[in-house]
């Protein structure tokens, strides 16, 4: 017996005592005068049949009494069976326990029949409502009835042969009605599921030769073919000529191997317009593991694919414009670099009196020209650097470097800049000597760009620090902190965009190319390092660089 059925009979002893109590109360009233008892109940039933004539009501009443007499006979019979069962040890006999559990269900729909009319069977809709309230599946109940029929016949140990045909008949009627109701329920559920699926999915079924044998309404709506135009046609009728042959080969190889195939595929409508679907094709197998047919379930993703195509087209245009921009900047930078270097060199010579003495007014003018040419040359060099890095043309040279020496050299280079603004610079190296292999020039460029940025934005007398240590993760960590112009958290990663400038009154008069941080970030990304930026409003900004040392 299935576990579920075993669980259902656990309360059989309680059911037995309930049955005994019922016989001592309600059923005795019925047995005193069954016709009077039923006539009292029939009054309510017949009064509701206002459309019947008196003759029809009397005929119906007679019919009711005849059928109810059969029920009373069945109750008499059930009492005798009950008495017989009482003599048995129900705790040891599983069949008797099982029967008692089923009889509770039979009693309920027998009794419910008394209070309603059903021209076809004594079972009524009230019974099915009862079954639902008990959370019993119709399929399980159908098994119960079949089992109960044979259980009753098996346990008739006395001469009641006149009931055998009746028992066979009544339980056959029960089985037929339950089967019909069960099948109707299944069909209803399937129709409900079909309606839901039809409104959200495109479904087709093909035979083993890829000929269509079924399509749902959504398939027809999207393809603009009618069902008659599709049935028994090859599924290639919607195949788009742009779809690669390799894709269909993969599809066919997959499903013929009895595997599920999934892909986004482009199809064509009857008018040759295109549409996109997300497809899942499932091979259906028989009991011998042979392919019977294929079922395809698709979802319309045309709008998504069109949006992706538009996005791809826009991206390609932007990429082309960006490449042209980079090409222009590269050419312009190369063309400007040589003459600007010459201009700067000649002005420097004039200021050093290599071309003779100059008066103070001319010196002031030339000094401004020299500063501007130097700033312009720095911009050109920065633009060339970032163009090379982004285009992948930047070369990296790896060598063993002395980290302590590198930091001391950088500190010496910035000493004049820090003193000029009376800034306090703290260099904190957590080791005496450390060497590892990397690109020295690129690492120095990253640190110098960030330090130069800190020097530029930190006011006079304020503090800048550079700290470094070796992490347990075998990484070198470099921390550069300034107490200058803070960056709000929403703008932290914007500072790495080319030509971006902090937008506040404190930075308005600060000159520069604004390419130092983008160049630093590009180098870090190319070399697989990590950079973290933290900023506390009005207090400090910290750049943390981590690079592997193995």
Structure confidence at residue 122 (pLDDT): 33
Give Dmax over CA atoms of the chain in angstroms: 146
CA distance 487 to 503: 10
3-state secondary structure of 481: strand
Q: Report yes or no: 525 and 539 within 8 Å, Cβ to Cβ.
A: no
In what helix (H) or strand (E) does residue 295 lie, and over which residues does it extend?
strand 291-300
In what helix (H) or strand (E) does residue 94 lie, and over which residues does it extend?
helix 94-114
Q: What is the DSSP letter of 473?
A: T
Angle between helices 360-391 and 516-526 (to 10 degrees): 30
CA distance 217 to 201: 10
Spatial CA neighbour of 262 closest among 244, 246, 247, 243: 247
Q: Report yes or no: 517 and 496 within 8 Å, Cβ to Cβ.
A: yes
**pTM above the 0.85 mark?**
no
Structure confidence at residue 202 (pLDDT): 84
Spatial CA neighbour of 72 closest among 129, 14, 33, 117: 33
**Summary count for the chain: helices (H), strands (E):** 17, 12
Mean per-residue pLDDT pooled into runs of 10, the chain (550 residues): 35 40 46 44 46 64 54 49 48 49 50 41 40 48 49 43 48 52 58 61 86 88 90 89 88 90 90 90 86 88 88 86 73 72 81 76 84 76 74 81 92 89 92 89 90 87 92 92 75 72 47 72 89 82 89
Q: Report yes or no: 337 and 380 within 8 Å, Cβ to Cβ.
A: yes
Kindly list the strands in the beta sheet with 274-285, ordered across the sheet, starting from the edge strand earlier in the chain: 212-215, 202-206, 291-300, 274-285, 261-268
Contacts of 132 (CB under 8 A, 6+ apart): none
CA distance 361 to 414: 31
3-state secondary structure of 331: helix
Please write the tens of the pLDDT for every residue from 224-248: 999 899 999 888 899 898 888 888 8
Spatial CA neighbour of 381 closest among 435, 417, 350, 344: 344
Domains in the chain (CATH in brackets) are 3-197 (no CATH), 202-300 (3.30.450.20), 307-391 (1.10.287.130), 399-548 (3.30.565.10)
CA distance 239 to 252: 14
CA distance 136 to 142: 10
Spatial CA neighbour of 453 closest among 414, 416, 422: 414
CA distance 261 to 86: 62
Terminal alpha carbon distance of the chain: 67
Structure confidence at residue 344 (pLDDT): 79
């Amino acid at each position: 017996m299935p576990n579920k059925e075993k669980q259902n009979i656990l309360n059989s002893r309680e059911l037995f005592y309930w049955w005994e109590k019922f016989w001592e109360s309600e059923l005795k009233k019925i047995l005193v005068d069954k016709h009077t008892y039923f006539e009292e109940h029939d009054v309510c039933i017949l009064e509701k049949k206002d459309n019947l004539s008196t003759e029809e009501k009397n005929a119906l009443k007679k019919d009711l009494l005849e059928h109810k007499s059969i029920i009373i006979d069945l109750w008499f019979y059930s009492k005798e069976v009950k008495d017989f069962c009482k003599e048995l040890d129900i705790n040891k006999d599983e069949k008797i326990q099982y029967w008692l559990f089923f009889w509770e269900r039979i009693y309920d729909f027998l009794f419910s029949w008394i209070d309603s009319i059903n021209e076809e069977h004594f079972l009524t809709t009230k019974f099915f409502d009862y079954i639902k309230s008990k959370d019993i599946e119709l399929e399980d109940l159908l098994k119960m009835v079949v089992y109960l029929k044979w259980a009753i016949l098996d346990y008739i140990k006395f001469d009641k042969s006149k009931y055998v045909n009746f028992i066979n008949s009544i339980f056959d009627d029960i089985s037929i009605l339950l089967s019909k109701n069960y099948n109707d329920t299944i069909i209803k559920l399937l129709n409900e599921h079909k309606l839901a699926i039809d409104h959200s999915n495109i479904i087709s079924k093909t035979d083993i030769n890829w000929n269509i044998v079924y399509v749902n309404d959504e398939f027809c709506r999207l393809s603009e073919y009618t069902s008659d135009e599709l049935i028994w046609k090859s599924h290639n009728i919607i195949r788009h000529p742009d779809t690669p042959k390799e894709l269909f080969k993969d599809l066919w190889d997959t499903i013929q191997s009895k595997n599920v195939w999934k892909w986004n595929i482009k199809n064509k409508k009857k008018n040759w317009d295109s549409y996109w679907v997300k497809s899942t094709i499932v091979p259906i197998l028989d009991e011998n593991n042979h392919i019977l047919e294929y079922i395809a379930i698709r979802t319309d993703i045309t709008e998504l694919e069109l949006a992706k195509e538009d996005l791809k087209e826009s991206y390609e245009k932007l990429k082309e414009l960006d490449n042209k921009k980079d090409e222009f900047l590269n050419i312009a930078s190369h063309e400007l670099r040589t003459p600007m270097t010459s201009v700067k060199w000649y002005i420097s010579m004039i200021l050093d009196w290599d071309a003779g003495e100059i008066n103070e007014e001319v010196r002031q003018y030339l000094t401004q020209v020299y500063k501007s040419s130097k700033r312009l040359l720095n911009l050109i060099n920065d633009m060339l650097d970032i163009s090379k890095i982004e285009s992948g043309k930047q070369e990296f040279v790896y060598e063993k470097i002395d980290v302590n020496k590198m930091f001391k050299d950088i500190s010496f280079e910035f000493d004049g800049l820090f003193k000029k603004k009376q800034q306090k610079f703290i260099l904190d190296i957590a080791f005496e000597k450390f060497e590892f292999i990397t690109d020295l020039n690129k690492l120095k460029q990253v640190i110098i760009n960030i330090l130069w940025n800190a020097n530029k934005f930190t006011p006079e007398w304020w503090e800048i620090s550079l700290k470094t240590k070796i992490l347990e993760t075998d990484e070198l960590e470099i921390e550069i902190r300034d107490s200058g112009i803070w960056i709000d958290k929403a703008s932290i990663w914007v500072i790495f965009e080319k030509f971006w400038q902090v937008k506040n009154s404190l930075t308005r008069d600060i000159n520069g190319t604004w390419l130092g941080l983008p160049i630093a970030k590009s180098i870090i990304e190319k070399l697989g390092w990590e950079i973290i930026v933290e900023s506390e409003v009005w207090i400090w900004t910290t750049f943390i660089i981590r690079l592997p040392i193995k």
